[in-house]
Chain A
């Protein structure tokens, strides 16, 4: 039986309430951390655990914490990034609505470790009902003495504020999130300075994803080394994977990092295979921004070995033959999927979500969408494919924030692996624009 760190008790009836959560061993980590550990010791355990940021970037969380500047007399802030908006990703939504106290507990531990007395959970505004759930959980925790002044008599004060967003993917970028939290447009900031030095209200700030923060109670209870023993190599611990698309059992699964991709797709424990009568064509493994891979490359590395669900294995081969774990938004496509249409759809998403601050992203995302729209609707030219590759290249790496890269990668990778399909659309516009038409040329389906 695979280790469950976040979802072990998720099916217990009433787990959203304080009492049931407490009965399942909840908040013992807060007691342990606040009563028996110094903040530095908590940071040390998180470092030892090797847990990496679960929002997409995969940066070691303990290291991020250790960068936090600690000038005298200046407040420090912890901000939880619950602006989950990456297409294909819905794990934080699931976690917060079903077991809100896990996040609250993690927030208390993390805030204590960082020396923050006021911490924020920035939730995308669309999840207003989840905000109510979190606020209720906070009230309960406060009533039981786990939040507010002098928590458990330890002298530590913490106030948690749940902040709604207003509908903007870009606020998942940490500095855009901070701008938004300050009541401004979600324009990412120029870096440096980084949030660890000047973040919220120009004070040192750590921004962490929901899932990352939620791991801290297990780490405090069992120790960083125990966490690091789970998983594979530098991909320690477990990861929530949001599985969607043409599979038998879409949903959120907690896996030990290192599970073979093939098992994840076909085993009954997880996705349960491709829907009946269909074959696997492609997978976007880490949310819409990571490179799409055709069936053979998602299941196996270029050298034929099995690909695993881990940071290293998924990125094996670089962007030529690999992809990224990203936020764990696992989108599965069978042979009925038109890659051109899907790429246009994703390009439209990034066009819609660009903040418009820097020119390559503001103008480039719209341009790519328009060209893809044209190809998909039977008005493409031969040179359009190279044009798209070139535009994507001129956006990538040249923008203020990673949204530019996120917009460029899906387009570049779709052309890299499915160029035939784009060409077919251009050379056979009449056929390609029939309702439900999909390229059936030579490609490896599994």
Chain B
């Protein structure tokens, strides 16, 4: 097989270590199972799952690049386009809406001056609508990276944005 070694992206040494550890979790020959965790690792490092990064993972797992693209475009957590520094993933599903989620969302959009799928001009915030985050009793909810922000109000949203804008 010809190897195209034009990859510009590589995992940092500690992430490479982590990647190897992840791949070793699965039975012999089932290394493709590592694909979702490795895509998370890639996104953690690069901010998004770039085509170069996905090709790098395909090589690492000895699978075809298309198998990575198919997966990355199926799951909503992977950003297949570059995003801002903070990606706000806002829950738009029913239970959050019952708790006033739509009003808070309108406020957040106004505050950021962007719509869903857009990034602020300064590149600081990207807004993404997501479905239920399994925190319905604490709605409205949004998530930034691993952190859940719950029981949101307009004031709370302002505080969070202020904090992250510093």
Contact = CB atoms under 8 A, between A and B. Distances in A.
Interface of A: 75, 84-90, 92-93, 118, 124-129, 132, 161, 163-169, 180-186, 201, 242-246, 250-252, 288, 329, 331, 333, 337, 341-342, 345-346, 348-349, 352-353, 355
A345 B36 contact: no
Interface string B34-59: 11110110000000000000000000
A75 B27 contact: yes
Given A168-B74, A184-B71, A331-B136, A349 B32 contact: no
Dominant secondary structure of chain A at its interface with chain B = mixed
Given A166-B77, A342-B94, A349-B132, A181 B33 contact: yes
Nearest to A352: B131
Given A183-B71, A244-B137, A250-B138, A87 B94 contact: yes
Contacts of B75: 125, 165-168, 186
B36 A163 contact: yes
Contacts of A346: 93-94
Contact of A242 (B30, B74, B136): B136
Q: Is the interface of B mostly helix, strand, loop or mixed?
A: mixed
B34 A183 contact: yes
B77 A125 contact: yes
A81 B153 CA distance: 32
Interface stretch (B8-16, B116-124, B139-147, B157-165): B139-147
B135 A93 contact: yes
13 contacts: A85-B132, A126-B133, A132-B146, A165-B77, A166-B39, A166-B72, A166-B76, A168-B74, A168-B76, A183-B33, A244-B98, A251-B137, A342-B94
Given A90-B135, A180-B36, A349-B131, A201 B27 contact: yes
A134 to B, nearest CB: 13
Contacts of B95: 87-88, 244-245, 329, 331
A93 B148 CA distance: 12
Nearest to A83: B134
A124 B36 contact: no
